[in-house]
Amino acid sequence: MQPASGKYSLLWGETPIQPLPRFAEKIGVKSCWIKRDDLTGFAFGGNKLRKLEYLLADALSQKCDLIITGGSPQSNHARLTAAAARRAGLDVWLCFAGNTLGQVQGNLLLDQLMDARLILTGVYGSEDLLTAMHEQAEAARREGYRPYVIPVGGSSPVGDYGYVKAWESCWQQVREEGLPSFDRIVLPVGSGGTIAGLWVGNQLNPAPARLTGISAWMEKDELEQEIYRLIRDLLPYVGLETADWTEGLPELHDDYIGRKYGVPSPDGNEAIRLLAQTEGIFTDPIYTGKALAGLIDIAAKQDCSEEHVLFWHTGGTPALFTHAASMT
Ligand SMILES: Cc1ncc(COP(=O)(O)O)c(C=O)c1O
């Protein structure tokens, strides 16, 4: 089963799973692998493209001609939404949190190159941003548009379905390529849709891996509630009912956010350096670097020396350049 509107293809193909032998040795796990969703292949890549394949199809099936979404001015989701909209020939408005755009670098630079309309909403937080997006949608309708609103992070049942499918293809890859059956999968968590999708994927195609989410933004209690809501809303899309959901929630950690969302942390920056220096692979300071820092710490504290670990790289690398000052 999949959303009725189908899929608008944006990925170049299934992303590779690659070994990280030197990194694994440094952090003390049996083996470590990386799922390269930073290489989804379009507009600098990242996890949001998997959600956008279904969201764009939904917008097109409703004959919408304008996509409205939001986030911070350096949002990876906003950049990829703008690119997907342009590819489909649609207009795009980006509603940003706060009152200032900040420096024109990284994602914001790319948004400008795509001539997305940039709107400063003066509000913060997903709910207030969503309200602001709906207000913009009203204004757009008065201009004669048919707008389609995508919530912060692309996290909705339609979008999260992209990660239900990603779970399925990941385990298919494990089988076809003869990879070890991962004991643990670690990934960063923002709005929660990616991990919610993987978790529901696990309900459909159970695998032994322990899904471990590292929060980049919300504290654990709030995040659990949010993920609970996302999973519950997603279940009917895959033909399951809440009663079929027996496995609780994924393991979530909120100890690696650092000072706050959007600000690099010293441990995250160290982790970025370690992966770059052992494997030549780049992560970002807002999501994947902090998640790597979580993995390194968990591996040390929980003794994962017998575990095969998969780190799910969700992209975000354009933000690396925005934060150069904190990294050097
Ligand atoms: C690079 C990167 N990783 C992870 C995430 C988190 O994904 P989700 O919002 O689905 O939890 C985001 C969200 O914007 C992101 O940009």
CATH numbers and ranges of domains, the chain: 17-46+155-327 (3.40.50.1100), 49-154 (3.40.50.1100)
190 Cα to the center of ligand 1, angstroms: 5
pLDDT the model gives residue 1: 60
pLDDT the model gives residue 246: 79
pLDDT the model gives residue 244: 81
Ligand 1 pocket check for 215: Cβ under 6 Å = no
Q: Would residue 72 show up in a list of annotated catalytic residues for this protein?
A: no
CB count, 10 Å around CB of 96? 25
Task: Please identify which of the residues 72, 75, 155, 265 carries the catalytic annotation.
Answer: 75
pLDDT digits (tens, 9 = 90+) for 180-194: 999 999 999 999 999
pLDDT the model gives residue 4: 78
List 309's β-bridge partners, or say none. 32, 184
pLDDT digits (tens, 9 = 90+) for 13-60: 999 999 999 999 999 999 999 999 999 999 999 999 999 999 999 999
As a whole number, mean pLDDT of residues 249-259 equals: 97
Q: Give 327's pLDDT tier (boundaries 50, 70, 90).
A: confident
Cβ-contact 211, 251 below 8 angstroms: yes
As a whole number, mean pLDDT of residues 102-124 equals: 97
pLDDT the model gives residue 247: 77
Q: Give 129's pLDDT tier (boundaries 50, 70, 90).
A: very high
How far, in Å, CA of 122 to CA of 102, rounded?
Answer: 14
Percent of the chain, pLDDT > 90?
A: 94
144 Cα to the center of ligand 1, angstroms: 32
Q: Give 289's pLDDT tier (boundaries 50, 70, 90).
A: very high
Q: Which atom of ligand 1 is nearest to the CA of 191?
A: 9
262 Cα to the center of ligand 1, angstroms: 12
What b/e readout covers 118-138, taking b as 16+ CB neighbours within 10 angstroms?
bbebebeebeebbebbeebbe
Ligand 1 pocket check for 106: Cβ under 6 Å = no
Ligand 1 pocket check for 192: Cβ under 6 Å = yes
Q: Give the contacts of 218 (CB within 8 A, at least 6 positions apart).
A: 189, 192, 226, 254
Does the pLDDT value for residue 5 go beyond 70? yes
Helix, strand, or coil (residue 114): coil
- The residue type of 188 is P
As a whole number, mean pLDDT of residues 144-163 equals: 97
How far, in Å, CA of 282 to CA of 274, rounded?
Answer: 10
Ligand 1 pocket check for 188: Cβ under 6 Å = yes
